[in-house]
Amino acid sequence: MKYMIWAGIGIIIAIAGLIYLGKLLLLKKNGIETEAEVISVREKRQNYYVHKMRYGSGDKVYEFEDKAGFSEPFKVGSKHTIIYDPKNPQNFDFAEQIKKNLIIIGVLVVMAVLFVVRWWWLGKLGT
């Protein structure tokens, strides 16, 4: 029985990872890739910096803070490639972060699935 509990925990982790992976893939597929300029930086707490970015396409220009937060501040005036949701422009992420997160989350989902298989198999063996 305890093996099935561990397998259930693995299933929950795998599902959560798949949901996040799906959100990232949708943003990458349906989002608009553009250059964003850092217009201000504020230290939200010690060694945690939030950047206000200016970006847009055509006549529409948006200014929103990033949600990620970084331990090192970007230079005001520097430009970074972002991908934003045209239906909800406040929802954006840095293109490099999306690539890294897709790889990391993909690997974690695979590990969670292997975790599930291992514990499910042990449960079936009854050991």
Structure token digits, residue 106: 């993909």
Give the largest CA-CA distance in the chain: 65
SS3 assignment, position 31: coil
* pLDDT higher than 90, residue 76: yes
pTM: 0.80
* 57-69 per-residue burial string, b: 16 or more CB within 10 A, e: under 16: eeeeeeebebeee
Whether residue 81 has pLDDT greater than 80: yes
pLDDT at 126 over 80: no
SS3 56: strand
Spatial contact of 37 and 114, defined as CB atoms under 8 Å apart = no
Q: What is the mean pLDDT of the chain?
A: 91
pLDDT given at position 78: 96
Q: Where are the domains of the chain?
A: 2-125
The fraction of the chain above a pLDDT of 70, given in percent, is 99
